[in-house]
A and B are shown apart, each in its own frame.
Chain A
Amino acid sequence: MKTQLTLTSNPIPESTPLMTDGMGAVVTFHGVVRGTEDGEPIRAIDYEANEPMVRHQFELIFAAIEKQWPIESIHLIHRVGEVAENDPSLRVEVIAPHRAEAFAACQFLIDEMKAKVPIWKRAVR
């Protein structure tokens, strides 16, 4: 399974999936900054990451995915620093032979990230 993990303070670029023979499914998820936090308007979220631990924890999650599903590749980008409302803070792209494993792996990855990957956010009002 090929993986690519990027932590960046730059906007997440548009991209076209690089498909290979036998791959029939691409699941792409964008996490987007909402314009409210606890019912109050905000203009951005400031993301902080413990980067060495973030990379290690994502590697553990990728390894767990590889054991469970036949995934061709995962490409993940997470923003750090300030991300304006309505901008994506996260992009996950999972490529697999069939949709079931692509959806399942993407859901698993995001659930695990939200429990284990040391990234925190602060509302900017």
Chain B
Amino acid sequence: MKITVKFWSYFRDLTECEETLLEVNEGKTLGDLHATVMTQFPKLAEMKNSTLKAVGVDYQTDEFVLSDGDEVSLFPPVQGG
């Protein structure tokens, strides 16, 4: 499956890119994907516990099972207002 991972806010500084395209096996979860991303971008591992995760426009938990073509967003705590 092909999954697009987008980075927001200072996560872009940590990864030095806006997004990456990952190939993952069927049945992988959002948590699995996050682990893969942290291997590829080790600086994100320091933010592991405060990272917020969304698929499309909805927040999801680590147990969420991904589908081909999903767009995942990873970002730090939000700061609107």
Contacts and interface: CB of A to CB of B under 8 A. Distances in A.
Interface in A50-106: 50, 52-57, 78, 89-90
Interface in B24-81: 52, 54, 56-59, 73, 75-76, 78-81
A118 B81 contact: no
Give chain B's interface secondary structure class. Answer: loop
A90 B9 contact: no
Contact of B76 (A56, A78, A90, A120): A120
Give chain A's interface residue range (CB within 8 Å of chain B). Answer: 20 to 34
Contacts of B73: 50, 53, 118
A120 to B, nearest CB: 4
A114 B9 contact: no
B81 A120 contact: no
Interface residues of B, number: 16
Nearest to B75: A118
A50 B4 CA distance: 15
Contacts of B9: 48, 120, 122
B78 A116 contact: yes
Given A50-B75, A89-B81, A116-B59, 9 more contacts: A50-B73, A53-B57, A90-B80, A113-B81, A118-B54, A118-B75, A120-B8, A120-B9, A120-B10
